[in-house]
Amino acid sequence: MTADPDHVAILDDEPSIRTALGRLLKSAGMVVDSFADSSQFFAWLELNTPHCLILDLQMPGLNGLDILGHLVKRPIHIPTIIITGHDAKGMREACLSAGAAAYLRKPLDADHLIQTIRGVREAPIHPLQTTSINRVTRQDSGER
């Protein structure tokens, strides 16, 4: 499955943030799908692959780091931009170390967000994702 280069998924529990980001990105010519919780997103992800995920760090249930942990284990790389209104000491480093392509604080600057989304196309694949991709490739080819 190939990702549409302008397809962005938004996962944020705040309806106003999802709406505002969706409008902004659509006005920039991007295709947008928005989700209020991780279960909706993961169900959708079974059949779809976005170019990029904008992921809120602070959410009920699974938080952004938890979701990121699930994503880096998947065989398909989805560059993820963490957004947060609650910037705690060390959190940026923790998110980037866990595989996030970028970490942005709310309120978001519209131009910077769009540049960041376009820039993650060139983001390197996180080592855990490379391992998963290699494991799937070996299994498909019969190697062990």
Q: 56-66, pLDDT tens digit by residue?
A: 999 999 999 99
Ordered by where they begin, the domains of the chain are: 7-141 (3.40.50.2300)
Q: Which residues contact 53 (CB under 8 A, 6 or more apart)?
A: 8, 9, 10, 11, 71, 78, 79, 80, 81
Work out the average pLDDT over 10-30: 97
Query: What is residue 66's three-state secondary structure?
Result: helix
Work out the average pLDDT over 107-130: 77
Work out the average pLDDT over 67-87: 92
Q: How far is CA 127 from CA 34, 45, 64, 92, 97, in A?
A: 27, 21, 19, 18, 10
- How many CA within 13 A on the CB side of residue 101? 24
Q: For residue 135, what pLDDT is reported?
A: 27
State pTM to two decimals.
0.82
Work out the average pLDDT over 5-23: 94
CA 37, distance to chain mean position in Å, is 13
Nearest alpha carbon to residue 36 among 52, 66, 12: 12
Tell me the pLDDT band of 123, cut-offs 50, 70 and 90: low
Nearest alpha carbon to residue 83 among 62, 104, 52, 100: 104
Say yes or no to pLDDT of 127 above 60.
no
